[in-house]
């Protein structure tokens, strides 16, 4: 039914937009016919130290090679700061809104330059050089952005680890990319609660003997241990250095950052993005998708620990000289009208959040929204997971007052920026559809055998050709990169998502088709949760699948087989949830644990996840073919004892 519901581009959006429907069609056509020509022009939106003469060098076959603008040099931080100073030194670059509503500040581009210069010199004083990796484990405070930009300025490669990850997860990420320097804060503050970031780093560093320096930003003033010779206070070091630091000339293909993300197997992968193409793409998409105009106040509610924070809090907006809002807190603190209060307080024009937040706030009813005016809002965005039509319609009516277009932006950590999304002045919207590809992006839907499907169809989503923001490799494991993304459908980038295309050519993402689950817009590998569970001394075996969850999109459903002689109790169930929280982080905590005397396996011992998914989804009437099971009785038991929700 929602297929039928179409929202026209509001006249006010069309009138001011950078791109209207006819212009989108023309741009798209040109971008396909002359892809290198199109991106060659777009590349000039950033400042190059040495301009490129080569635009595109891509081979999706064999070892896989992806290069953009590869003979150009630039500095990403200089593009986000220095080049704006002549015109914008006094313009706000970052509005910071604290967890406590009484705390906020404005940082101008001029101030940003000084902060980043100092942070750069502090890193240099700690011996950080071009190409070195630096791990950033920070709360949502401006220093997190300064740290990222300081790395970019001196040519170091940052790896931001979300502050909600456990010491073990942090340690794994530090070791994988061999960071010698970690930047953190004493504590974070979220929803009035303190997050022991420095204590987590201390625990992590027990496993990281090569880390020689830990730079600690004072946020709460809480009591933390400082290990002499290793730990230093940022404010003390910053006072010793100059705010001026030259920007390093970087090749377009020099790494900018690594960001770890979950896949269907093994440990999280270090997704590597490089400098030139990434920045061009972040800038291009931020400008066109959000129809960013001079003076707009733009707010993306993500955390800098995720790719959305990288591309659409820091790099895209700052490359465009925008004013970007950074929020330390959570949507429901002090109460569930906080987002809307912040919109009114800072006169936010463009608001970008995740469906899980919309659903959670929707549950609180309209009263918290009605307290606020929301008259500054012009455009709404959604990211991270499919948005259900109900949430879309609520967002449109209650938050956007039927006036603001919604951009449902589909993309991934791997893609660096948005690939499929409406353009607010060009694209009619349908609730629940990410609509159409951006210029320069060539999606294809394939069937299980890799045949490209035409017209209205459903299958697996691939991208036929590269775009400048694409990841270049898995850090330290190029073979895994080629295998993960280019081997299922040779010659194409495989996204891992299922997708439907309707008769109007609109794309509808149906969710992951691999063993990745999307919990509140956060990617989680089922294998990671399983290995955390089996690390518990009383667990023999575990299998984890996703199931539909009203607020989170997907919840985590774990089937656990206990060791012989261990009694299944409520206490143990609670203990296992806590255990996974501690091993990985709160976002990985199972929502439901079912005791499984046995797991459905084939005769060769392979767990049949298809069956476990069906049971978790309450679709046990449609289990399909179970004849290959070693012991069909196992399934009967699982169905009889499935968990209620
Ligand atoms: C899902 C987040 C539907 C998708 C930017 C993708 C979406 C995964 C959307 C990437 C959307 C993201 N509609 N699904 N608008 N946006 N996804 O790497 O399954 O954290 O593969 O990047 O989130 O998650 P990631």
- With beta carbons less than 8 A apart as the criterion, state whether 441 and 289 touch: no
Rounded-to-integer distance, Cα 54 and Cα 249, Å: 18
pLDDT for 211-238, tens place per residue? 999 999 999 999 999 999 999 999 999 9
Best mutation site among 273, 411, 496 for ligand 1 pocket (most ligand atoms within 8 Å of CB): 411
Best mutation site among 389, 412, 519, 521 for ligand 1 pocket (most ligand atoms within 8 Å of CB): 412
- Ligand 1 pocket check for 497: Cβ under 6 Å: yes
193 annotated to a ligand binding site: yes
- Ligand 1 pocket check for 518: Cβ under 6 Å: yes
The residues that bridge with 65 in the sheet, in sequence order, are: 59
Rounded-to-integer distance, Cα 422 and Cα 419, Å: 10
CA dihedral angle for residue 477, residue 482, residue 483, residue 489, rounded to 10 degrees: 170
Closest ligand 1 atom to Cα of 516 = 19
Task: With a threshold of 0.90, tell me whether the complex ipTM lies above it.
Answer: yes
Work out the number of other CB atoms within 10 angstroms of the CB of residue 43: 26
Beta-strand pair 255-261/269-274? antiparallel
Q: Which of 73-82, 257-266, 383-392, 579-588 has the lowest mean pLDDT?
A: 257-266
Q: What is the mean pLDDT of the chain?
A: 96
Q: How far is the CA of 640 from the centre of ligand 1 (A)?
A: 34
| pLDDT higher than 70, residue 283 | yes
Rounded-to-integer distance, Cα 121 and Cα 310, Å: 22
Report residue 140's pLDDT band, with 50, 70 and 90 as the boundaries. very high
Beta-strand pair 181-185/213-217? parallel
- Ligand 1 pocket check for 281: Cβ under 6 Å: no
Atom 4 (ligand 1) nearest CA:
385
308 annotated to a ligand binding site: yes
39 annotated to a ligand binding site: no
539 annotated to a ligand binding site: yes
Q: How confident is the model over 132-150, as a mean pLDDT?
A: 98
pLDDT for 448-495, tens place per residue? 999 999 999 999 999 999 999 999 999 999 999 999 999 999 999 999
What pLDDT is recorded for position 621? Answer: 80
- With beta carbons less than 8 A apart as the criterion, state whether 411 and 419 touch: yes
- Ligand 1 pocket check for 415: Cβ under 6 Å: no
| pLDDT higher than 80, residue 106 | yes
| pLDDT higher than 50, residue 1 | no
- Ligand 1 pocket check for 383: Cβ under 6 Å: yes
What pLDDT is recorded for position 3? Answer: 55
- Ligand 1 pocket check for 288: Cβ under 6 Å: no
Beta-strand pair 592-595/553-562? parallel
The backbone region for 215, taken as left when phi is positive above 0, alpha when psi lies in -120 to 50, beta otherwise, is beta
What pLDDT is recorded for position 155? Answer: 98
Angle formed at CA 251 by CA 248 and CA 255, multiple of 5 degrees: 90
Best mutation site among 160, 509, 515, 587 for ligand 1 pocket (most ligand atoms within 8 Å of CB): 509
| pLDDT higher than 90, residue 563 | yes
pLDDT for 359-372, tens place per residue? 999 999 999 999 99
Q: How far is the CA of 594 from the centre of ligand 1 (A)?
A: 28
- Ligand 1 pocket check for 496: Cβ under 6 Å: yes
- Ligand 1 pocket check for 303: Cβ under 6 Å: no
pLDDT for 398-436, tens place per residue? 999 999 999 999 999 999 999 999 999 999 999 999 999
% of the chain surpassing 90 pLDDT:
94
Rounded-to-integer distance, Cα 480 and Cα 454, Å: 30
Atom 13 (ligand 1) nearest CA:
386
Atom 1 (ligand 1) nearest CA:
385
353 annotated to a ligand binding site: no
378 annotated to a ligand binding site: no
Tokens of 229: 């010779």
| pLDDT higher than 70, residue 145 | yes
Q: How far is the CA of 381 from the centre of ligand 1 (A)?
A: 13
Rounded-to-integer distance, Cα 510 and Cα 501, Å: 10
598 annotated to a ligand binding site: no
- With beta carbons less than 8 A apart as the criterion, state whether 573 and 579 touch: no
- Ligand 1 pocket check for 412: Cβ under 6 Å: yes
Q: How far is the CA of 411 from the centre of ligand 1 (A)?
A: 5
- Ligand 1 pocket check for 308: Cβ under 6 Å: yes
Give the SS3 label for residue 197.
helix
What pLDDT is recorded for position 627? Answer: 80
- Ligand 1 pocket check for 262: Cβ under 6 Å: no
% of the chain surpassing 70 pLDDT:
99
Q: How confident is the model over 54-65, as a mean pLDDT?
A: 98
């Amino acid at each position: 039914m929602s297929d039928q519901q179409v929202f026209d581009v509001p006249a006010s959006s069309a009138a001011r937009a950078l791109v209207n429907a006819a212009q989108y069609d023309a741009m798209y056509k040109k971008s396909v016919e002359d892809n290198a020509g199109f991106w060659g022009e777009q590349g000039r939106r950033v400042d190059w130290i040495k301009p490129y003469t080569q635009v595109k060098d891509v081979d999706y076959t064999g070892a896989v090679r992806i290069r953009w603008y590869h003979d150009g040099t630039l500095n990403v931080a200089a593009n986000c700061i220095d080049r704006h100073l002549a015109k914008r030194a006094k313009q706000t670059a970052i509005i910071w809104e604290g967890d406590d509503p009484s705390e906020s500040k404005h940082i101008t581009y001029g101030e940003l330059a000084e902060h980043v210069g100092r942070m750069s010199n502090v890193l240099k004083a700690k011996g950080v050089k071009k190409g070195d990796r630096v791990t950033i484990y920070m709360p949502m405070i401006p220093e997190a952005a300064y740290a990222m930009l300081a790395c970019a300025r001196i040519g170091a490669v940052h790896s931001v680890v979300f502050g909600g990850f456990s010491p073990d997860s942090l340690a794994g990420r530090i070791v994988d990319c061999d960071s010698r320097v970690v930047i953190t804060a004493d504590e974070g503050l979220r929803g009035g609660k303190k997050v022991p970031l420095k204590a987590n780093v201390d625990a992590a560093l027990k496993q990281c003997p090569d880390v020689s320096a830990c730079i600690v930003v004072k946020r709460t003033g809480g009591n933390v241990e400082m290990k002499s010779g290793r730990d230093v206070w940022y404010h003390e070091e910053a006072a010793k250095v100059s705010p001026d630091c030259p920007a390093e000339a970087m090749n377009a293909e020099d790494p900018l950052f690594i960001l770890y993300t979950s896949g269907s197997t093994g440990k999280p992968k270090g997704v590597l993005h490089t400098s030139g193409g990434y920045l061009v793409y972040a800038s291009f998409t931020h400008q066109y998708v959000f129809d960013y105009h001079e003076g707009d106040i733009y707010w993306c509610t993500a955390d800098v620990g995720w790719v959305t924070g990288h591309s659409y809090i820091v790099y895209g907006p700052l490359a465009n000289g925008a004013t970007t809002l950074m929020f330390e807190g959570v949507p429901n603190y002090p109460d569930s009208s906080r987002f809307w209060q912040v919109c009114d307080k800072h006169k936010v024009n463009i608001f970008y959040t995740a469906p899980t937040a919309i659903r959670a706030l929707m549950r609180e009813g309209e009263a918290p929204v009605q307290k606020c005016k929301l008259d500054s809002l012009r455009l709404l965005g959604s990211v991270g997971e499919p948005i259900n039509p109900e949430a879309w319609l609520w967002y449109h009516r209650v938050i956007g007052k039927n006036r603001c277009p919604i951009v449902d932006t589909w993309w991934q950590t791997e893609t660096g920026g948005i690939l499929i999304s409406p353009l607010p002045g060009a694209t009619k919207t349908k609730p629940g559809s990410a609509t159409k590809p951006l210029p320069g992006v060539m999606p294809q839907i394939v069937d299980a055998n890799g045949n490209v499907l035409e017209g209205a169809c459903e299958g697996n989503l691939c991208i036929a050709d590269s775009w400048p923001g694409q990841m270049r490799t898995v850090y330290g494991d190029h073979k895994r990169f080629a295998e993960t993304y280019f081997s299922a459908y040779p010659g194409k980038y495989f996204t891992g998502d299922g997708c439907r295309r309707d008769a109007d050519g609109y794309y509808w993402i149906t969710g992951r088709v691999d063993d990745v689950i999307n919990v509140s817009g956060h990617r989680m590998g089922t294998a990671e949760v399983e290995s955390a569970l089996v690390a518990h001394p009383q667990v023999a075996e575990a299998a984890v699948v996703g199931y539909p969850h009203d607020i989170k999109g997907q919840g985590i459903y774990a089937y656990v087989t206990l060791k012989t002689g261990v009694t299944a109790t409520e206490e143990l169930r609670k203990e296992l949830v806590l255990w996974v929280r501690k091993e990985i982080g709160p976002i990985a905590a199972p929502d439901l644990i079912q005791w499984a005397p046995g797991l459905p396996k084939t005769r060769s011992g392979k767990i049949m996840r298809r069956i476990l998914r069906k049971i978790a989804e309450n679709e046990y009437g449609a289990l399909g073919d179970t004849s290959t099971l070693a012991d069909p009785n196992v399934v009967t038991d699982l169905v009889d004892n499935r968990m209620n929700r």
